[in-house]
Chain A
Amino acid sequence: MKHSGNRRTFLLIGLLAAIALVFAACAAPAAAPSTGAEQPAAGAAAGLPAEPGRGTDGTVTLVYWQEISILNPYLASGTKDFHAASLILEPLLEFNQDSELVPALAVEVPTLENGGVSEDLMSITYKLKDGIVWADGTPLTADDFVFTWEYCTAPLTGCTVQNFVAVANVEAVDPQTVKITFRAPAPYPYIPFVGYLSPVLQKAQFENCVGEAAQACSDQNTNPIGTGPYKVKEFRANDTVVYEINENYRHPDKPHFAEVVIKGAEDASSSARAVLETGEADYGWNLQVEPAVLLDMEAKGLGTLMASFGGNVERILINFTNPDPALGDKRSVWSPDDPNPHPFLTDIAVRKALSLAIDRNIIAEQLYGPAGKPTCNLLAGPPAVASTNNDACLTQDIAAANALLDEAGYVDSNGDGVRETPDGQPLKILYQTSTNSVRQKTQALIQQWWKEIGIETELKNVEAAVFFGGDPASPDTLNKFYTDVQMFTNGPDNPDPQQYLSNWLCQVEGEYVIQTPANNWGGSNVERWCSPEYDALYETLKSATGEERAQIAIQLNDMIVQNYVAIPLVFRASVSAHANSLIGPAIGGFESEEWNIEDWHRAR
């Protein structure tokens, strides 16, 4: 007995020891010594030199509640990845806080006047700044740009950036000169290699990562070699990125921070808390928090909110086809021979009444606060292309909406509070959007207003991953549009609206681009609205320049809005916050928020 008791004790101890060993083995890396001790994020203001020099200002901590997954923008999976990559990789030109072009790697902004843009608008030629080297010390040459273009356009790379769509060729005229040729005249040529979406990659590093190999190039994708102020010190996917200074950066006095940390957080409100309430972080990105809560946090005086308006507009899209499930395969399907019209939404009176009944001011003020203002335009920014012809929609007018419907013959004949079409179909609308508390509150408000004009609305929300996803098998994607109306945000990627306005085209080069099963729901015209006048006017935009161009863009916007193809609601801004001890952040709507991080420094 005694013996076996001892053996049992021994076994028990052994078991515990084994568990402890597993723990020790797994926990060991955390305790491993490493050089360079961490410094507290904020409040390191003491002991700074009078003027900021290179690396004099310690560490700056940025909180991103969507964690960084990858640092190669061409394979990025979200805006946050593009931002994180912009500390390392640089384009030829970038946008400043006022959305004006400023040179980054290029000597100047090429224009028609200085001869950088060819007379026929078919090409643009950039001169590179002298003496720029990559972080590894090798020189940047025009070949790197040629390579980057080839990399992104190789079909199997899976490139997520579309800045090269209009490019026919990129050539290295000489090591310091890059010439980009377009497929068609490009009155706005500042798309390829401009802005944070399309920086230049190092050919030597990515040479073996083109095409199918791109996805497996883990080291390259998480530690790209760049020309920018920082390089990766440590990358922990979906958690933290630590950057250190690129010693080969071209400005001898910049960047001022020796280290940058981008840290993940649970959600937007914990990001806001870390910057505005506890002061643990210096910068918080995209703080989509209830307006009242956010302004309350700002009132504590630790940090300041900033809003940047690009061109994003939250809108309700109208389905011009019939989404009735009884139609089976023909549900929401448009074809040139059979437009499959919606029973009542194809009537402009109904669409206009839907718009009239909405109070955009309440939605913007109550639900968006600093992050949005009411708008009547789908092309709401930048200011040069924003129309002023539709501002009447800012006033809600339920009576006018009711009168309009009465006049058009939609009356409530059976007294159930819901109007019917002349042939007896009730005005019932299914309204879908992605799952998101602000969107659900918007839906509830609009449902109430539409009820006041005798239209019954059923609400539906779909998980964002499904709604915005490209799964051709799912019935709930925004592309299939199996409902009467749907709501989401979209906007131009750069200050020029040409690409964005192409979303309402019916035909491109003779091919229909409305989403149908034939193109695997891959078209761009989600509303399924087909207007030859719009297409014709868009043709003239393709060659217009200057003021004329802006005027045509405004007319195109007015055409969509005044036909109520989509109902704009809120012009949305991205709201970020910086600690008051941090000087330098200046955000615009079309550029990475860290575009000028080399100038950021501590208050002194």
Chain B
Amino acid sequence: MGTYILRRILTAIPTLLFISFVIFALLALSPGDPTANLPPSLPMEIKLQIRESLGMNQPMPIRYVRWLQQFMINEPINAFEKATGISIGDSEGRLRITSWTARGKPVIDLVFERLPQTLWVVGLAYLLSIVIAVPVGVYAAYRQNSFFDQASSVLAVIGFSLPTFFTGVLVIQIFAVWLGWFPSLYNTTLRVTDFDSFLQQLRQMIMPVMVLAFFQVATVSRFARSSSIENLRQDYVRTARSKGLAERMVVTRHVVRNSMIPVVTLIALGIPGIFGGAIVTEQIFAVNGIGQLLIISIQSNDLPVVQTVLMIFAVLVVVFNLIADIAYGILDPRIRYN
């Protein structure tokens, strides 16, 4: 296992380098301009001057190498310094990746500013959907074609097919406009200090979490159901039953465990998505997390932010792929990597 992990980590390095180049090149070559949102009366010469002051006139390979150095070396050192308080070398003069629209603000700071609300909303929705979807899927498979199975299938199809930009606006119209129960704008400056503010936090989280979880439950429960159905027909299940094991033990110890392999892939590969935020849902509820950061940076052509955020996603996807592979080995002893 150890050598396998090591090998995987080593092969990840060229993969990530390649991804970083593709991300950088695609964005650097795409049309768009950070000066476009400036007041329209601004003369072109000034726009050109601003482009120059943002370093846009340098050749692309130079910008790539500088960005790579900042992303791979400078920013991790900064993060380490921030976390531990130990300073390494010239921490003031170190070049950082900074946002164009928020002139001078380091991108990593922007990301950290937005992680809490993204993790709260998207992460909670994710956890909630797993907790609901796995038992629902397994039970639906166990009672195949029962009323419960039919009902959960219908709900899953609805959840699948309704996009979050539709359900989001729908729940806002119902719960915020008509009933007035929950706020339609998420307050990112809210601090949970007492019971009241905790209630407020709950109220503002309910709608986005609901919308996201509905969509996730549909996906995960379908996987859990089909995988369980397959396993319920296997010989080892019959063997377990004929040994006289209680039904509960047969399902939980044998069926669920073996059915979890495709579900674990789905879940593990979905985790980078939590850090990436839910772009549409965050926009609709003004959660202003990472997804929204990415969207507005694309809109305002804030390339350093877009490149950095996408690169962070790429790293997370590679890491969680690895974690999923390790988890297989734990769930199914037959899978060995040596």
Complex Cα distance, B333 from A4, in Å, reads: 9
Q: How far is the CA of A8 from the CA of B176 in the complex (A)?
A: 47
Q: CB distance A471 to B185 under 8 Å?
A: no
From residue 40 to 61 of chain B, which have CB atoms closer than 8 A to chain A? 40-54
Is the beta-carbon distance between A238 and B184 smaller than 8 angstroms?
no
Cβ–Cβ < 8 Å partners of B78 in chain A: none
CB-CB under 8 A from B33, the residues of chain A are 465-466, 469-471, 474
Q: Apart from A27-B123, A37-B194, A490-B40, what are 18 other A-B pairs with CB-CB below 8 Å?
A: A11-B330, A15-B330, A19-B271, A23-B119, A30-B116, A31-B192, A38-B187, A77-B103, A158-B53, A215-B54, A221-B102, A221-B103, A221-B105, A238-B101, A240-B187, A278-B177, A469-B47, A479-B44
- Which of B54, B190, B284, B299 is the one whose CB lies under 8 Å from A158? B54
- Chain B residue with minimal CB distance to A469? B33
Shortest distance from the beta carbon of B173 to any chain A beta carbon, whole Å: 9
CA distance A460 to B37 in the complex (A): 20
Given contacts A15-B327, A29-B116, A270-B184, contact A162 B42 (CB under 8 A): yes
CB of A201 to closest CB in B, whole Å: 14
Do A158 and B50 touch (CB < 8 A)?
yes
Residues in A neighbouring B315, C-beta threshold 8 A = none
Instruction: Check B119–A471 contact: CB distance below 8 A.
Output: no
Selected from B52, B99, B184, B301, the residue in CB contact (under 8 A) with A274 is B184
- Most chain B CB within a 10 A radius of its CB, from A4, A72, A468: A468
Q: How far is the CB of A418 from chain B (nearest CB, A)?
A: 32
Does A263 belong to the interface (CB within 8 Å)?
Answer: yes
B side interface size, CB within 8 A: 79
Complex interface bits, B98-130 against A, C-beta within 8 A gives 1, otherwise 0 = 111111111000101111110110010000000
B178 to chain A, nearest CB (A): 9
Contacting pair B102 A70 (CB below 8 A): yes
Q: Are A489 and B177 in contact (CB under 8 A)?
A: no
B88, CB-defined interface residue at 8 Å = no
Q: How far is the CA of A75 from the CA of B120 in the complex (A)?
A: 33
CB-based contact B286/A270 at 8 Å: yes
**In the bound complex, what is the Cα–Cα distance between A19 and B270 (angstroms)?**
13
A293 at the interface (CB under 8 A from B): no
Q: Is B307 an interface residue (CB 8 A)?
A: no
Instruction: For A263, give its contact among B114, B196, B197, B286 (CB under 8 Å).
Output: B286
A584 interface contact, C-beta 8 A: no
Q: Contacting A237 at CB < 8 Å: which of B41, B48, B110, B185?
A: B110
A19-B31 Cα distance, complex, nearest whole Å: 38
A160 touches B189 (CB 8 A): no
Q: In the complex, what distance in Å separates the CA atom of A157 from the CA atom of B46?
A: 11
Specify which chain B residues have a CB less than 8 angstroms from the CB of A33 in the assembled complex: 191, 193
Nearest B residue to A297 via CB reads B177
Q: Is the CB of A265 within 8 A of B116?
A: no
B35 to chain A, nearest CB (A): 4
B296 within 8 A of A: yes
Query: Residues of B contacting A29 with CB < 8 Å?
Result: 112, 116
CA distance A263 to B204 in the complex (A): 15
Are B48 and A30 interface neighbours, CB within 8 A?
no
Closest 5 CB pairs of A and B: A469-B33, A470-B47, A158-B53, A522-B44, A30-B116
Which residues of chain B are within 8 angstroms of A158 by Cβ–Cβ distance?
49-50, 52-54
B36 touching A467, Cβ below 8 Å: yes
A469 to B44, CA, bound (A): 9
| Among A32, A217, A266, contact of B191 (Cβ-Cβ < 8 Å) | A32
Q: Give residues in B with beta carbon < 8 Å to A.
A: 31-54, 98-106, 110, 112-117, 119-120, 123, 172, 176-177, 180, 183-185, 187-194, 196-197, 200, 271, 283-286, 288, 292-293, 296, 299-301, 323, 326-327, 330-331, 333
Question: Contact between B38 and A240 (Cβ–Cβ < 8 Å)?
Answer: no
Q: List 22 A-B contacts (CB under 8 A).
A: A11-B326, A15-B327, A23-B119, A37-B196, A70-B101, A70-B102, A77-B38, A222-B105, A234-B189, A236-B113, A240-B188, A265-B286, A266-B285, A278-B176, A278-B177, A465-B300, A467-B36, A468-B37, A470-B33, A470-B47, A474-B33, A520-B48
Contacting A69 at CB < 8 Å: which of B32, B54, B102, B189?
B102
Inter-chain contact B187/A263, CB cutoff 8 Å = yes
Distance (whole angstroms) from the CB of A509 to the closest CB of chain B: 15
A238 to B290, CA, bound (A): 11
Evaluate contact between B284 and A70: CB separation under 8 angstroms. Answer: no
A109 to chain B, nearest CB (A): 24
CB pair B103–A72 under 8 Å, yes or no, is: yes
In the bound complex, residues from chain A placing their C-beta under 8 Å from that of B113 are: 236-237, 239
How far, in whole Å, are A318 and B161 apart by their CA atoms in the complex?
A: 47
- Which of B37, B106, B176, B283 neighbours the largest number of chain A CB atoms within 10 Å of its CB? B37
Docked Cα-Cα span, A274 to B187, in Å, equals 13
Distance A524 CA – B47 CA, assembled complex (angstroms): 12
A414 at the interface (CB under 8 A from B): no
Complex Cα distance, B100 from A32, in Å, reads: 29
